[in-house]
């Protein structure tokens, strides 16, 4: 496409700002959706490819494939159509602030934690695509964008231009006929450095294992710092994928990661993982360890988290212990550490002994103040005046009913002097209070009897 379309408006809705790049099938522009002032990317199909219905139909299939998918690690599509002004098919997609994985690899081998996060997220994207009956068929670093809007790497899979829809049918053609029409005999599509052996042989009926092989090549390249097979002649690279064993890896890696790479790069599709979920099950182990270290979890707590996830079963289950990894990776909240069982709790005897001594001290203080209150009560009782002789003489003398004196409680021999003094004071107060109540009752009875006798004498005189 010779003409630069920057500055033009497409269908009165999208203003083209800048040309970002050009590929084998078209050009990509940064644009603005005028109605909502949203930054988007617009891909145009090359004019010379529109002359054949095959490429125009592929472009439409790419739009349909992306429209089926809604996933945080797959580029979202907003619109698709044909612009009469430019005479071009176009596709409006999500704009990603960031860089391509291929640009990252040009800087050298990335850190292992970066690699594991990116490959994990791409595997999640593939799992979603495969679940929706879509094969990517051209997975490579150029088709993986890394967003810079998050402190952690967030991958976006794009360019489903060679996607295969398992159940895609037209009105007149069966799915098999449609695929044969789009991929003629002898035609091989893809990028040789990342193509699966069956894809290199020109097999039309590919399975999900082909995408997983391509992801395995990316994983190998990121961990090792170079491609497993490289040659300037594309057919030579394709022959290597079909026939040559994978070169041994020299990176210092966990055995489980080395076995995963070998598993994904098997020549026979039947010997590879059966789906992206199996790749995720292996990677999750190492992703969790990495996140624990990033959050500076103590070694004991990290070991507890691993014990919790393993559940003493030695096997991994995605649903057993955690939500999807994407929600964690993008979250700033480290509350997932609560998954860890942590180190076993031990009794802190210092706290126990200190608490006991504190209770004893509080009890002693309360006992001291209780003793002071008893002494005050004793003084109050002694100050109560007893009935005078004149008051007693007014009433005829009557003997009050005998009341048994309360027997003092026995004080254990082993009790200390403070306890015996406290008991004696309590008994003395009780006895004094009883005597006063008896005297007051006797005085009231005598007064009632004397009044009764006076009334009787008054009646007799009348």
**Cα–Cα distance between 210 and 444 in angstroms, integer?**
113
Q: Is residue 344 part of a domain?
A: no
Mean pLDDT by 10 residues, the chain (462 residues): 83 95 86 96 90 81 86 93 91 94 95 95 95 90 92 89 58 39 51 94 89 97 96 95 95 92 96 96 78 40 38 36 44 42 51 69 69 53 48 47 50 48 50 48 57 60 54
CA 404 to chain centre: 77
Q: Is residue 358 part of a domain?
A: yes
Instruction: Single out the residue in 95, 124, 143 at which a domain terminates.
Output: 95
**Cα–Cα distance between 444 and 392 in angstroms, integer?**
10
Are residue 42 and residue 119 in the same domain, yes or no? no
Are residue 104 and residue 154 in the same domain, yes or no? yes
Are residue 429 and residue 358 in the same domain, yes or no? yes
Q: What is the pLDDT of residue 37?
A: 96
Are residue 308 and residue 435 in the same domain, yes or no? no
Beta bridge partner(s), residue 44? 27, 90
**Cα–Cα distance between 401 and 412 in angstroms, integer?**
33
List of residues 6+ apart from 75 with CB closer than 8 A: 66, 93, 94, 96, 145, 156, 157, 158
**Cα–Cα distance between 15 and 30 in angstroms, integer?**
9
Say if CB 221 and CB 140 are below 8 A apart.
Answer: no
Nearest CA to 207 among 119, 274, 143?
A: 274
Q: Write down the residue that tokens 């020299």 correspond to.
A: 250
**Cα–Cα distance between 215 and 264 in angstroms, integer?**
8
Q: Is residue 121 part of a domain?
A: yes
Q: What is the pLDDT of residue 429?
A: 47
Are residue 129 and residue 241 in the same domain, yes or no? yes
Q: What is the pLDDT of residue 145?
A: 95
Q: What is the pLDDT of residue 457?
A: 57
Give the 3-state secondary structure of the chain: CCCCCCCCEECCCEEEEEEEEECCCEEEEEEEECCCCEEEEEEEECHHHCCCHHHHHHHHHHHHHHHHCCCCCECCEEEEEEECCCCEEEEEEECCCEEEHHHHHHCCCCCHHHHHHHHHHHHHHHHHHHHCCEECCCCCHHHEEEECCCCCCEEEECCCCCCEECCCCCCCCCHHHHHHHHCCCCCCCCCHHHCCHHHHCCCCCCCHHHHHHHHHHHHHHHHHCCCCCCCCCHHHHHHHHHHCCCCCCCCCCCHHHHHHHHHHCCCCHHHCCCCHHHHHHHHHHHHHHHHHHHCCCCHHHHHHHHHHHHCCCCCCCHHHHCCCHHHHHCCCCHHHHHHCCCCCCCCCHHHHHHHHHHHHHHHHHHHHHHHHHHHHHHHHHHCCCCCCHHHHHHCCCCCCCCCCCCCCCCCCCCCCHHHHHHHHHHHHHHHHHHHHHHHHHHHHHHHHHHHHHHHHHHHHHC
Are residue 82 and residue 127 in the same domain, yes or no? no
Are residue 105 and residue 204 in the same domain, yes or no? yes
Q: What is the pLDDT of residue 65?
A: 83
Q: Is residue 202 part of a domain?
A: yes
Question: For residue 170, what is the domain's CATH number?
Answer: 1.10.510.10
264 backbone dihedrals φ, ψ, rounded to 5°: -70, -25
Instruction: Single out the residue in 291, 319, 339 at which a domain terminates.
Output: 339
Are residue 453 and residue 355 in the same domain, yes or no? yes
CA 61 to chain centre: 36
Active-site residue list: 138
Q: What is the pLDDT of residue 129?
A: 92
Encoded tokens for 320: 């057993």
Q: What is the pLDDT of residue 376?
A: 53
Question: For residue 79, what is the domain's CATH number?
Answer: 3.30.200.20
Q: Is residue 206 part of a domain?
A: yes
Are residue 326 and residue 187 in the same domain, yes or no? yes
Are residue 78 and residue 184 in the same domain, yes or no? no
Are residue 306 and residue 275 in the same domain, yes or no? yes
**Cα–Cα distance between 215 and 116 in angstroms, integer?**
12
Domain with 2 in it: 1-95
Q: Is residue 409 part of a domain?
A: yes
Q: Is residue 248 part of a domain?
A: yes
123 to 108, 153, 231: CA distances (angstroms): 22, 14, 27
Are residue 187 and residue 202 in the same domain, yes or no? yes
Whether the full predicted model's pTM is greater than 0.75, yes or no, is: no
Instruction: Single out the residue in 54, 73, 95 at which a domain terminates.
Output: 95
As for how many domains the chain has, the answer is 3
Q: Is residue 152 part of a domain?
A: yes
């Amino acid at each position: 496409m010779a003409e630069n379309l920057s500055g033009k408006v497409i269908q009165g809705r999208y203003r083209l700002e800048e040309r970002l790049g050009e590929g084998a099938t078209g050009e990509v522009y940064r644009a603005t959706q005028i109605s909502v002032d949203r930054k988007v990317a617009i891909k145009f199909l090359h004019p010379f490819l529109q002359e054949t219905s095959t490429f125009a139909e592929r472009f439409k299939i790419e739009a349909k494939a992306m429209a089926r998918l809604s996933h945080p690690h797959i580029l979202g599509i907003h619109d698709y159509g044909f612009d009469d002004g430019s005479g071009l098919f176009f596709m409006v997609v999500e704009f990603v602030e960031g860089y391509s994985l291929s640009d990252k690899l040009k800087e050298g081998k990335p850190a292992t934690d970066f690699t594991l996060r990116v490959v994990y997220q791409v595997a999640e994207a593939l799992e979603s695509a495969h679940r929706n009956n879509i094969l990517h068929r051209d997975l490579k670093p150029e088709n993986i964008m890394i967003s810079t809007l998050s402190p952690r790497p967030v991958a976006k899979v794009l360019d489903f231009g060679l996607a295969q829809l398992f159940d895609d049918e037209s009105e007149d053609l069966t799915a098999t006929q449609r695929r044969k029409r789009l991929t003629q005999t002898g035609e091989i599509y893809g990028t040789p450095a990342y193509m699966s052996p069956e894809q290199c042989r020109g097999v039309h009926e590919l399975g999900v294992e082909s995408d997983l092989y391509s992801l395995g090549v990316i994983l190998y390249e990121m961990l090792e710092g170079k491609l497993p097979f490289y040659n300037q002649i594309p057919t030579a690279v394709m022959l290597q994928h079909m026939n040559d064993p994978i070169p041994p890896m020299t990176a210092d890696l966990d055995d489980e990661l080395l076995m995963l790479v070998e598993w994904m790069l098997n020549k026979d599709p039947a010997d590879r993982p059966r789906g992206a979920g199996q790749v995720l099950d292996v990677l999750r182990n190492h992703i969790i360890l990495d996140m624990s270290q990033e959050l500076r979890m103590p070694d004991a707590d990290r070991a507890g988290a691993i014990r919790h996830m393993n559940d003493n079963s030695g096997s991994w289950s995605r649903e057993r212990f955690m939500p999807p990894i994407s929600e964690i990776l993008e979250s700033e909240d480290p509350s997932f550490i609560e998954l860890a069982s942590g180190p076993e709790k031990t009794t802190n005897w210092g706290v126990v002994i200190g608490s006991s001594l504190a209770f004893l001290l509080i009890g002693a203080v309360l006992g001291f103040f209780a003793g002071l209150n008893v002494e005050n009560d004793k003084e109050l009782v002694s100050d109560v005046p007893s009935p005078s002789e004149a008051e007693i003489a007014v009433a005829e003398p009557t003997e009050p009913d005998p009341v048994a004196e309360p027997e003092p409680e026995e004080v254990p021999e082993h009790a200390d002097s403070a306890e015996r003094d406290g008991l004696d004071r309590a008994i003395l107060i009780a006895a004094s209070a009883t005597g006063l109540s008896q005297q007051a009752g006797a005085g009231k009875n005598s007064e009632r009897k004397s009044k009764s006798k006076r009334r009787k004498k008054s009646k007799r005189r009348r």
